[in-house]
């Protein structure tokens, strides 16, 4: 199951009610902070999520409304020793920028106690674990080396306890392997096939997060059929000229992508303060039924 918490949903500048871009994707014990706009550490505190196990940051791109909070957050992680190492994943240009921020501005006199792992993104998997794959895919926006992220759970089969007991499969490693679809050989030499002790396969859930985008071109293949798509929608369709000039999406572009991709649920973020409350939501609903405009601290479960 995935849990997504929106920490900052404002476009470019914060407002009284919206912080700058950041959201947390949780899967099991793993936590991925996507973007880290100014004020993100305070949003983490206010949300109750805290800093535990916060060891991975994924940056969609290098614009400062998505990046500037990294200095303060890393400073606090270092001070509180709440994590030993922090891995920062970004495309080449935003990674260089984040590195300059931490190494030249935050810690000019030498490296901190906090270990920093700089991971340069290229299209493809950045994590391929037994239960979860995370893939980076390119996004077009007015900044170099922009990426979106696709989180995919590995399909699992539910173990049937009565059959496990009847066949004498002990708790622990053997049951875990059967759940992953592997056969096991018991200590007395008897072989148990997964089909003997499992129910129907439960498909893995899929979540896609796209940051700022000047166009939806090329995104369809990466977000097709996802259970949840998070994407920006900074402008109403009436302002499509402004959207194009500033390399952002309109509500219509975002909902069209969701419709064509057949996504389960669409959440829109990166909201401009220029529009009256409800205007984006109303236009979005006309284009795609299963849509929400994210507010700070909104939380959605996928599972």
Under the criterion CB under 5 A, does residue 63 sit at the interface with Zn ion?
yes
Instruction: Kindly tell me which of 63 and 206 has the beta carbon lying closer to Zn ion.
Output: 63
Distance of closest approach, residue 86 Cβ to Zn ion, in angstroms: 22
How far is Cα 46 from Cα 263, in angstroms, rounded to an integer? Answer: 30
Show contacts with Zn ion in window 103-122 (CB under 5 A).
none
Angle between helices 279-287 and 251-261 (to 10 degrees): 30
Given the rule CB under 5 A, which of 132-140, 172-180, 187-195, 212-220 is the region that contacts Zn ion?
A: 212-220
Given the rule CB under 5 A, which of 64-72, 93-101, 213-221, 272-280 is the region that contacts Zn ion?
A: 64-72
Please check if 89 is assigned to a binding site: no
Please list, in sequence order, all residues whose beta carbon lies within 8 angstroms of the beta carbon of residue 136, skipping any fewer than 6 positions away: 58, 89, 121, 122, 123, 124, 125, 126, 147, 148, 149
Distance of closest approach, residue 143 Cβ to Zn ion, in angstroms: 6
Given the rule CB under 5 A, which of 69-77, 127-135, 189-197, 206-214 is the region that contacts Zn ion?
A: 206-214
65 is catalytic: yes
List the alpha helices (DSSP H) in the chain.
Answer: 40-47, 69-80, 92-100, 161-167, 173-179, 194-197, 220-223, 240-245, 251-261, 279-287
Under the criterion CB under 5 A, does residue 145 sit at the interface with Zn ion?
no
Under the criterion CB under 5 A, does residue 248 sit at the interface with Zn ion?
no
Instruction: Kindly tell me which of 65 and 153 has the beta carbon lying closer to Zn ion.
Output: 65
Backbone dihedral region for residue 41 (phi beyond 0: left; psi -120 to 50: alpha; all else: beta): alpha
Distance of closest approach, residue 5 Cβ to Zn ion, in angstroms: 18
Please check if 222 is assigned to a binding site: no
Distance of closest approach, residue 67 Cβ to Zn ion, in angstroms: 10
**Residue 64 has what DSSP assignment?**
G
Catalytic-role residue among 65, 145, 227, 239? 65
DSSP 96-141: HHHHHIIIIII-TTS--SSEEEEEE--SEEEEE-SSEEEEEEEE-S
How far is Cα 284 from Cα 275, in angstroms, rounded to an integer? Answer: 13
Please check if 158 is assigned to a binding site: no
How far is Cα 261 from Cα 225, in angstroms, rounded to an integer? Answer: 6
Task: Provide the sign of the torsion angle of the four alpha carbons 8, 139, 235, 98, taken in this order.
Answer: positive
Please check if 212 is assigned to a binding site: yes
Q: How many CA atoms lie within 13 A of 177 on its CB side?
A: 13
Q: What Rg, from alpha-carbon coordinates, does the chain have?
A: 21
Using CB under 5 A, which of 35, 38, 145, 212 touches Zn ion? 212
Using CB under 5 A, which of 65, 145, 283, 296 touches Zn ion? 65
Given the rule CB under 5 A, which of 45-53, 122-130, 183-191, 207-215 is the region that contacts Zn ion?
A: 207-215
Distance of closest approach, residue 270 Cβ to Zn ion, in angstroms: 6
| Residues in the annotated binding site for Zn(2+) | 61, 63, 65-66, 141, 212, 270
The set of catalytic residues is 65
Residues that bind Zn ion (CB under 5 A): 63, 65, 212
């Amino acid at each position: 199951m995935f849990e997504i918490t929106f920490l900052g949903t404002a476009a470019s500048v914060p407002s009284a009610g919206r912080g700058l871009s950041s959201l947390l994707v949780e899967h099991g014990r793993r936590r991925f902070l996507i973007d880290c706009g100014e004020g993100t550490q305070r949003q983490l505190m206010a949300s109750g999520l805290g800093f535990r196990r916060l060891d991975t940051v994924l940056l969609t791109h290098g614009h400062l409304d998505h990046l500037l909070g990294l200095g303060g957050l890393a400073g606090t992680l270092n001070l509180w020793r709440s994590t030993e190492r922090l891995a920062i994943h970004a495309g080449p240009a935003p990674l260089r920028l984040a590195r300059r921020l931490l190494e030249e501005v935050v810690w000019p006199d030498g490296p901190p106690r906090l270990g920093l792992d700089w991971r340069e993104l290229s299209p493809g998997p950045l994590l391929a674990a037994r239960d979860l794959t995370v893939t980076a895919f390119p996004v077009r926006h007015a900044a170099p080396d922009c990426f979106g992220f696709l989180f995919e759970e590995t399909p699992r089969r539910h173990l049937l306890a009565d059959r496990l007991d009847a066949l004498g499969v002990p708790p622990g490693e053997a049951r875990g392997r059967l759940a992953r679809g592997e056969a096991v050989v018991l200590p007395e030499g008897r072989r148990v096939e997964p089909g003997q002790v499992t129910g129907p396969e439960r498909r893995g859930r899929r979540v896609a997060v796209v940051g700022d985008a000047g166009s939806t071109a090329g995104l369809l293949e990466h977000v097709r059929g996802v259970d949840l798509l998070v994407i920006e929608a900074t402008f109403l369709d009436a302002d499509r000229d402004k959207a194009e000039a500033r390399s952002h999406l309109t509500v219509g572009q975002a909902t069209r992508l969701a419709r064509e991709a057949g996504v389960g649920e669409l959440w829109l973020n990166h909201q401009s303060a220029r529009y009256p409350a409800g205007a984006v939501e109303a236009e979005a609903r006309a284009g795609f039924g299963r849509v929400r405009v994210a507010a700070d601290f909104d939380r959605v479960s996928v599972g």
